[in-house]
Copies of this chain bind each other. A is one copy, B any other.
Amino acid sequence: MTSASAEHQIPPQVQLVRTYFMSLQDQICSALEALDGTAQFSREELPGEQGALARPRVLADGSHIEKAAVQFTHSIGASLPPAATKRNPHLAGHGFQATAISLIVHPRNPMVPTTHMNLRYFHVDTPEPFWYFGGGFDLTPYYGFNEDCVHWHEVAQAAAGPQYPAFKQACDDYFYIPHRQEQRGIGGLFFDDWREGGFDSSLTLTKAVGDAFLPAYQPIFERRAVLDYTQSQREFQLYRRGRYVEFNLVHDRGTQYGLQSGRRVESVLASLPPLVAWHYCPEFEPGSPEDNLLTEYLAPKDWVACG
């Protein structure tokens, strides 16, 4: 908790979102610890000026989770730089606040997909506040299972409601690796600059997405973490994790912004996999599960219709 003196400087909208993100972080960390069974998240509280707060949490070397990072941040800036507001030059110079929850899970078993979720709220304290929400979640399997992809997208559809087709399309568009001409994963939801219907309605939608993450991921994790796997399947996972690194370091706007803005580098790069392999020109037998990942799973499709 922040002190009463600091708290009064936080606009009520930011306070509402922040409270939700912190409680979601707690809930997701507890659920991931239960899924792992042995490892615990590191828990730090890094307070900033005027009530700002970062709560980086990382779980490493668990029984089932090789690495997970679930980060909460609330940052406060005295004056928005002109470069940050090209589309809205009247905001330059005003104080701003940003709060976000961002997570990634790198499971040990290659049968369990990697997942990523991010929710964020940006607020400029002009007389008529300027604000927007953004976020989403996406799934990156190493070995494809139709029922997992269908379940993932069914939960996403239920959370996003009428926005599902647009958010799914935005997710496929965003998580694309141009230099590989590949999708990063099987997608999910992605939205940005979201203000539709006003603050309450936008917060409700953001909460629906956040609350859907565990129901989407948990059953997949439970089904796949108990499967046996071979060393060669493990090596395929390490190899495919390279794509994750390439996307995050070369293309991901959040990572680029984090590195350029001088944010705490260990937090920005906590998303990187614990162990990664790069092979030169690997070949996979046509029709093999490794080959099918690209041809059958990573090509964007209407997964809900496959159910």
Given A180-B265, A265-B179, answer yes or no on A270-B280 (Cβ-Cβ < 8 Å): yes
Bound complex: CA A274 to CA B239 (Å): 9
**Contact status B238-A275, CB under 8 Å:** yes
Contact with B along A62-90 (1 / 0, CB 8 A): 00000101000000000000000000000
Given A60-B280, A67-B280, A279-B60, answer yes or no on A246-B269 (Cβ-Cβ < 8 Å): yes
Is A130 located at the chain interface by the 8 A CB criterion? no
Is A209 located at the chain interface by the 8 A CB criterion? no
Contact with B along A257-270 (1 / 0, CB 8 A): 00110100110111
Q: Is the interface of A mostly helix, strand, loop or mixed?
A: mixed
Question: Contacts A238-B275, A249-B249, A275-B275 given; 7 further ones with Cβ under 8 A?
Answer: A42-B280, A58-B281, A178-B259, A180-B265, A245-B245, A273-B278, A275-B276
Bound complex: CA A245 to CA B275 (Å): 12
**Copies of this chain:** 2
Is A277 located at the chain interface by the 8 A CB criterion? yes
- Name which of A60, A250, A262 has the most chain B CB atoms within 10 A of its CB: A250
**Contact status B270-A274, CB under 8 Å:** no
Question: A268 contacts which chain B residues (CB < 8 A)?
Answer: 179
Distance from A176 Cβ to chain B, minimum over Cβ atoms (Å): 13
Is A242 located at the chain interface by the 8 A CB criterion? yes
Partner of A242, one of B60, B250, B272: B272
Question: Using a CB–CB distance below 8 Å, which chain A residues touch chain B?
Answer: 42, 58, 60, 67, 69, 178-180, 238, 242, 245-246, 249-250, 256, 259-260, 262, 265-266, 268-270, 272-281
Distance from A178 Cβ to chain B, minimum over Cβ atoms (Å): 8
List 11 A-B pairs, Cβ < 8 Å: A180-B265, A245-B245, A245-B249, A245-B276, A246-B249, A249-B250, A266-B280, A269-B278, A274-B279, A275-B276, A275-B277
Bound complex: CA A251 to CA B158 (Å): 41
- Name which of A245, A246, A268, A278 has the most chain B CB atoms within 10 A of its CB: A278
- From A59, which residue of chain B is reached at the shortest CB distance? B280
Bound complex: CA A293 to CA B174 (Å): 38
Question: A259 contacts which chain B residues (CB < 8 A)?
Answer: 178-179, 250
